[in-house]
Each structure stands twice: as C-alpha cells, then as structure tokens.
Structure 1
Amino acid sequence: MPGDRKKILVLFAHPAQERSEVNKPLFTACLQHCDVTAIDLYREYPTFHINIDKEQQRLKEHDVLIFMFPLYWYSTPAILKQWQDLVLEYGFAYGADGHALKGKTFLCAATAGGSETAYQKEGYNHFSIRELLQPLEQTASLTGMNYLAPFVLFSSRNAVEEDRVNAHVEQFRHLLTALADNTLDIEAASSMPVLPANISDLINAHPHD
C-alpha cells in the first residue's frame, strides 16, 4: 500500500576499516536510522563462512537492499562476492521458483578514490562507475529487483581534507529516508549514471506505489 514504510538492509563491506574515512561515518548513519538494518559483513563473517539461511531470511524481511563498499579494483570487496555466490541461490533468488527478491529495490553506495572525470570513456579508468558495476545491475535484472544508479563519493581520498564527508553523509541520510518513506523517484533514479549530490532533486511530495 502507498505510504507503507520500507525496510532497508545495508550490507557493509570494508576490508580495511582502520583506514576508512568515509565508509565508517556512512555506516554509523545507517546504524542510527530507524528503518535500516545495517550489517558489517567482515565483522559478522571474519572467516567468510556465510550463514546462507540467515542472510536469505534477512532479504525476505526487507524491501530495499544496499551494498555499501569502497571500490576495490573496479568491483566490490571479496566478501560481497562471497555473499552473492552463496546467498543468491537458484530457487531462491532466480530460476523457476526463485522469486524472493522480485520487486525489491537495490543500489550500491560506493566510494571511489579517483575523480568523477576519471570514470568515463575518455578518463583514466575508461569506464563509468555504473558501467563497471554492470554485473550487479544484471544481478538485479535476473532476480527481478529495481536497480538504482549508484550513490558515489568520488575523490574519496581527499574528502576529509576538502571537508566533503559530512555533506555526503547527510545526503545519504536523505536517501535512506526517501527510500523508507517510498518518496524517491525510482524511475528517475534508475536512469542516471550516478545519483545526484542533492538527493532532494529525486524526492516526490507523496509516497507512491
């Protein structure tokens, strides 16, 4: 029903948290949000032995799935791949009887050390962030989830010195609330290369179906 609050599951993956300047405050914002279940995968599974039944139940109980991570070699940290390989099973996430994720919303909240101009065809990395994350976009397609453009902080290595972290965290809080309130313009958010720095541009006045 329109107006029903959405439950958000955030899976946080950072293999070097002692050096994290952006992801840790983002994760703290998740822990403080009443509509969010925030899981630190490296803390929960230090030996990579994923509890498949537990993770599948979490997915069933939530409407929105967010992967939060620093971009490592143009992809996710290893534990998120392990999680996908084990949890998104045939018959659960895809296949003839695999409809558990159908209709849910999925996005990535990522940080990238390089600048936004570096992530384009003519740039240093030759591909955009959305292009590099296409395996996750196809995973969303296969499992019937609505894939949103990634929420990205570029030049994250300089974010503290340039005093950009607090504003980014605040925008992430707005994004979480809009997802929970069901007021985010999903169609617009799905069509962009990355979500805008000002999330208010994507928020509708009223909840939608």
Structure 2
Amino acid sequence: MEVDDDQLSILASLKKYDVFISFNGEIRNNFFSHLCRAFNNIGIKIFFDDKIDRGEEISKALFDAIDQSKFCLIIFSKNYACSSWCLDELVYILEKKQKKELIVLPVFYYVEPSIVRRQKDTFETAFFNHEKCYNDTIIHNWRVALIKAAGLSGWDASKIRNDDELVNDIVNHIQAKLGSASKQELDGIDKASIGRLCGMGTSVKLGSKL
C-alpha cells in the first residue's frame, strides 16, 4: 500500500503516537476496548483520554497528544455529539488535517454518515441542547467540522459483517500505511546511497585495490 507525499511526511515524522482515538465513552467497554487491544497486540502506539495524568489540564493534554500523533481515528457513535469536548476535539483534529499534519480516518459506528453530516436523530438532539449553552460561533464551528468529517473516507460499521471484522480492517489498514511509509523511506535511502556510490565511479574502479 503506497502513501502519497503528504502522508509520507506525516508518517515519517518523529511523533510520539501512531494513532489518536477520538470517541464518546459509551463505546469504551465494547468496540473501543477491542480496538485498543488489537493495536497494542501489534505494537501500534495509541493515545486516548485515559492516558492523561490526574491533575493535568485536560484540553492542553489532549491537544498536545493530537499534535504528537500520525493518525486520528474519529469514532462516530450514537452519542458522539452529546459531548462538547468531543466536538472541540473534532474541530482541532480537522485543523491539523487541513495543515497536512495529521491523517484523519472516520469510523461510523452504527451511525450513518448522512446523520453526522446533516446532524439528524441523536445529533440533532445534542445540538438542540448545546444551543442553550454555547454561542453561535462555537455551534457553527462544530457543525462545519461534522460536515467535513462525514465526507472523509473511512469505515461504515453497518456495512461490515461484525465488530471483529471492523477492528481487523482498521488495524490492518493503519499497519499497512505505517509499513509502506517505512519501506518508501528505506527505498529512498537506498537510492540515495546508490547515487553517491555511482558518483564515485570515476575515481574508483570495481575490484580495484585502494
């Protein structure tokens, strides 16, 4: 699996984490825990909010973790939009993607992408409640972020046989991207080395003794 130049730049960067996971706690004890276990089993470094030290400022800690991640998985579940924190996180994640500093992959966990994009059903209810507490600018930024994220290529759980298959697809995809980036880096190093050796050809003959 090849990666483009923008992705290669991100994947080759010396970041602390491979994957940042944005999610609502409703899936913590089922799909989410299964996904984390699968990542850990193959050595992919992940970050989620349980890694924040007690007493640390939550917003800064999470934003720093996003900055230090190569991928971001956004798991849109039924109550994702109920969390103002998830929505703030989403806005920041998409800002980093726009700057080509993060690869973003959505997972629509039994929520249709159209529901996220149009903010219907539970998302509509969530925004009805948010509008009582937050100003128009914040609400607008959240809505725009959801529209953008819903248009990204990712996974729709309703079209995959079961959670096991979904987890395998996600983990294998990210593992392949990371592996492909490493291979491209090595290929580039090999070509550069060969180029330097070829440049020495006029002064050193193969098989000659120095």
TM-score after normalising by structure 1 = 0.50
TM-score after normalising by structure 2 = 0.50
Q: Which has the higher helix share?
A: 2
